[in-house]
Amino acid sequence: MIKNRTELLRKIKEEVIALKESPLYAERIKNKVFPVIGEGSHNSQIMFVGEAPGKNEAATGRPFCGASGRILDELLASAQIKRTDVYVTNIVKDRPPFNRDPLPEEIVVYGPFLDRQIEIIQPKVIATLGRFSMDYVMRKFGLENLLQSISKIHGKVFEAGTSYGKIKIVPLYHPAVAVYNASSKDELKKDFQILKEFK
Averaged pLDDT, groups of 10, the chain, 199 residues long: 83 97 94 97 97 96 94 96 97 94 96 98 97 97 96 96 96 92 89 90
Number of domains in the chain: 1
pLDDT the model gives residue 193? 96
Contact 18, 64 (CB under 8 A): no
Backbone angle region of 127, left / alpha / beta, with phi > 0 → left and psi within -120 to 50 → alpha? beta
Residue 35 burial by CB count (10 A; 0-12/13-18/19+): exposed, middle or buried? buried
pTM: 0.96
Specify the pLDDT at position 120: 96
pLDDT of residue 159: 97
CATH number, domain of 120, equals 3.40.470.10
Host domain of residue 171: 5-198
For residues 62, 66, 69, 74, the Cα torsion angle rounded to the nearest 10 degrees is 140
| Residue 182 pLDDT | 79
